A and B are shown apart, each in its own frame.
Chain A
Amino acid sequence: MPRISPFTLLKFACVLAVAVFVAVLPQIFDSRLDPGSAEFRVGQFTLVGIWFVALLGLNVLTGFNGQISLGHGAFVGLGAYVTALLSLGRPGLELYMLDPPSWLPIGDGMRPVFTIPIAALVTGIIGFLFGFPALRLGGVSLALATLAVAVSFPILMKRFDEVTGGGGGVNLNLPTTPFGWDISTRHWLYYEAWITAGIVLVLAWLLVRGRVGRAFRAIRDGEIAAVSSGVNSALYKTLAFGVSSAFAGAAGALLAIEVAYVNPDTFPVGLSILLLASAVIGGLGSLAGAAFGALLYVFLPIYSQNPPIVSWDFSNQAPAVVFGAVLIAIMLLLPGGVAGGFRRLTGLVRLGLARRRADRSELA
């Protein structure tokens, strides 16, 4: 049996421990808080799971493949709209007096949970197609092109208001536990998000540790060198776009189910920018970094916005400022983000241990 380093085992144990913690977190809240607060906290952590999925996608594209995307929020939005349309179905849309063209394969309304893979697939294909023109761009130009996607997304959704409900958007049906399972709706949404996150995490992990991941990183670190080593840069770059948008689409689907309302203002340009900032602060090039980024994205605005009874200062505007300040601090002090910080820490520990082992073997 090959020698597995104790650190790899430790990493797996940590992941397992976190998974268990995530699984029992709703129960912990239920037992320690009053029903209202417990429900609220579970809801917050459901959102953490949703943005974790989105950031995993962004990390694959920008962290592992080096393609800057300022348009990730648009793909999240696309997934959300796909879920909205499919779960409402044509009859549901008619109640909004919407009249999508007959060639669109919108059925009669399906269970929201089944729309998640469909949304991921549709968004993934569109992202993959976007990857082709993106091949000609790099660096700042690509960032601008993706920014254009983010800017135009809300406008497109308003333009095709016969399908999307325009500015007013559409309300999805309030979520319910499917299949008559005996679990509260709040818990169901939580597990739906985190099981999806688990699946996406495993997929992302398999991707980055395999040939594809190596190709991604090779392209990121030196495209010309990678191409001269025989890496099909065009294929892998478009693949990265496809995979990352698919993950974003899944996150969007979960968001639509959770919030039960989609409209263009839900996915403004700011979302894409904040997502990139969260990915950077969490740690690009690290799957765990996506988790830190998601925690930051959900909790930072809340804790920097001191809920006021009477307030006439800037506290209501604090989130954006604090986000920016944290981003600058991270860029200066910990360029690898929070995950990078942890890696450095374990690196130091390993170095210390290795030194001790070397000293001991010298003495022996």
Chain B
Amino acid sequence: MKKVLLAVVALGAALTVSLPGAFARLEAPKARQADPGVTSRSITIGGTFPFSGPVSSYAPIARGMETYFRFVNARRGPDGKRGVYGRQIIFKTYDDGYNPARTVQLTQQLVLQDKVFAIYGSLGTEPNLAIRPYLNQRKIPQLQIATGASYWGAQHKAFPWTMGWQTDYIAEGRVYGKWILQNRPRARIAIFYQNDDYGKDYLRGVKQGLGSRASSMIASELSYEVTDTSYASQIARQRASGADTWILLTTAGTPTVRALGTGRAVGYRPEQIVINSVAATDQVMAAAARTTGQEYVNGVVSTGYLKNNTNPKYKNDPAIRSFRRIMGKYGPEGGVDIRNTFYYYGVANASEFVRLLYKAGKNPTRASLMAAARNRNWVNPYTLTGMRTLTRKGDAFPLDQGKILRYNNGSFTEISPLYKGR
């Protein structure tokens, strides 16, 4: 027995002595290499999306993007080749469940193991905030991310490899403010907003849009937490304020439906309800109408920067028709509800990215992709007529305009000219 003990101790000592050697760092020689993710036949990109979890209703955005890339890979482009300059687009998507810790892990997986050329379209403000320093440190493009936070454009100088796409929340808020000043100059406004960056960005924008008249026009400004299950007390107070214009800055789905339902229940009937664009989708409005009755939600106003594919005005619009064709032919098996605007967003966003890939050149590098992203001056046919996609030195917001839309009996119509949010 003592011998065995002695042997174990000796083994342990030997290993302890050899361990410091194990700490020596292996220095891999740094060879000059082409950017990862690009081969002669393919470009690999990746992004993280909430396929599960509390905001999984946004998942169709990723499906729309995947569909568009399938289309690009199958069709012959302007140079006669399939894909982009003959390279097939490989788009890897992972589910982060909207948990930023998982986003970081999965993004590292995309970067280190899948060796993607760029991070594309990752969804969510907090998830993108979590990965932004890492990607910028490694000089990996973080482009066309599916979030309207103003961080990306506002802090582009500090994080030059990150750029958003859609009209950001502050710009959108300003559009509401401007429209109200022009069309309802004597309004008493009640604002109900989500108590996080999303809601507060919108709120900031609305106040900036109202300018010096903000404090005199806003009669009530109350918030709710994402996890609240009842808004009764806040909305009752907003009704008591006598405001005739009610601005809802809520996320899509339950919060918006609940707010409208509560408003109806407490008998709050403002002349004009304004709902932010993320929430004012056909689905949400239809769901709200089931609770409040169609009459309550008719007349709701919102903004848009994309053509609405359910708007009969666009029935013969080439962009809408190509959207329907692409979704029909390359969409997910089993078909999708084409009225869900998230698919349209995905297609519109992906088409912009493909355009950037072309602009990055026949031999794209990460640097050339970012250079393309920073110098855009064109029209994306999926956006509203008259909108220009513009970026340049000092302007890292590709889209910053919007039109006011009015909802009525299941569809949105554009009722204003194009406003500049920035």
A320→B52 contact, CB < 8 A: yes
Main secondary structure of the interface of A (DSSP, over half): helix
Q: Is the beta-carbon distance between A43 and B227 smaller than 8 angstroms?
A: no
Is A141's beta carbon under 8 Å from chain B?
Answer: no
| Size class of the contact patch on chain B | 35 or more
When the two chains form their complex, are residues A261 and B22 in contact, meaning their CB atoms are under 8 A apart?
no
**Cβ–Cβ contact B113 & A20, under 8 A:** no
Decide yes or no whether A104 CB sits under 8 A from chain B: no
Contacting residues, chain A, for B133 (C-beta < 8 A): 171, 174, 260
Q: Is B112 close to A, CB under 8 A?
A: yes
From B104, B115, B196, give the contact of A261 (CB < 8 A).
B104
State whether A263 and B100 are in contact (beta carbons under 8 Å apart), knowing that A4-B5, A30-B26, A167-B196 are contacts in the complex.
Answer: yes
Report which residue of B92, B99, B112, B334 has the largest number of chain A beta carbons within 10 angstroms of its beta carbon.
B112
Compute how far the CA of A155 lies from the CA of B226 in the bound complex, rounded to whole angstroms.
9
Please determine whether B70 and A40 come into contact, CB atoms closer than 8 angstroms. no
Q: Which of B130-156 contact A (CB under 8 A)?
A: 130, 132-134, 137
* A1 near B100: Cβ-Cβ < 8 Å: no
| B8 surroundings in chain A (CB, below 8 A) | 9, 12-13, 16
CB proximity of B43 to chain A, nearest CB, Å: 12
**Min C-beta distance of A340 to chain B, whole Å:** 26
Bound-state Cα–Cα, A154 to B54, Å: 14
A308 to B, closest residue via Cβ: B93
A16-B196 in contact (CB<8A) = no
Which chain A residues numbered 77 to 112 have a C-beta less than 8 Å away from chain B? none
Q: Is the CB of A305 within 8 A of B134?
A: no
| 0/1 string, B78-93, CB within 8 A of A gives 1 | 0000000000001111
Bound Cα distance A159, B223 (Å): 12
| Interface residue? B15 (CB, 8 A) | yes
Q: From B15, which residue of chain A is reached at the shortest CB distance? A: A20
Closest residue of chain B to A298 (Cβ to Cβ) is B105
B111 contacts the other chain (CB 8 A): yes
Please report which residues of chain A, range 10-67, place their CB below 8 angstroms from some CB of chain B when the two chains form the complex: 12-13, 16, 20, 23-24, 27, 30-31, 35-37, 39-40, 43-44, 47
In the complex, whether B352 has a CB less than 8 A from a CB of chain A is no
In the complex, whether A362 has a CB less than 8 A from a CB of chain B is no
For chain A, the count of residues having a C-beta within 8 Å of the partner chain is: 58
B337 at the interface (CB under 8 A from A): no
CB contact between A305 and one of B1, B23, B94, B98 (< 8 Å): that residue: B94
Q: Are B94 and A259 in contact (CB under 8 A)?
A: no
B197 at interface, CB cutoff 8 A: yes
Which of A1, A12, A259 has most chain B Cβ within 10 Å? A259
Interface centre among B66, B97, B113, B134 (most CB of A within 10 A): B113
Q: Contact at B101–A259, with CB atoms within 8 Å?
A: yes
Q: Which of B91, B113, B196 contacts A166 (CB 8 A)?
A: B196
**Partner-binding segment picked from A180-188, A229-237, A275-283, A329-337:** A180-188
Decide: B113 and A1 in contact? CB cutoff 8 A. no
B240 within 8 A of A: no
Closest chain B residue, CB of each to CB of A5: B1
- The yes or no answer to B318 lying at the interface (CB within 8 A) is no
Known: A174-B133, A266-B99. A312 touches B112 (CB 8 A): no
Interface check A139, CB cutoff 8 A? no
Expressed in whole angstroms, the Cα–Cα distance for A124 and B131 within the complex equals 30
A169 touches B126 (CB 8 A): yes
Which residues of chain A are within 8 angstroms of B108 by Cβ–Cβ distance? 40, 43
Which residues of chain A come closer than 8 Å to B28, judged between CB atoms?
Answer: 30, 35
A-B complex: 10 closest residue pairs judged by Cβ atoms: A312-B332, A167-B196, A316-B51, A40-B112, A261-B130, A36-B112, A316-B95, A168-B197, A266-B101, A317-B52
Could you list 27 A-B pairs, sorted by A, with CB under 8 Å?
A: A1-B2, A9-B5, A9-B8, A13-B8, A13-B11, A23-B22, A36-B115, A39-B112, A40-B112, A155-B225, A158-B196, A166-B196, A167-B126, A167-B198, A169-B129, A174-B133, A259-B130, A261-B104, A265-B99, A265-B126, A266-B99, A266-B101, A307-B92, A309-B91, A316-B51, A317-B52, A317-B95
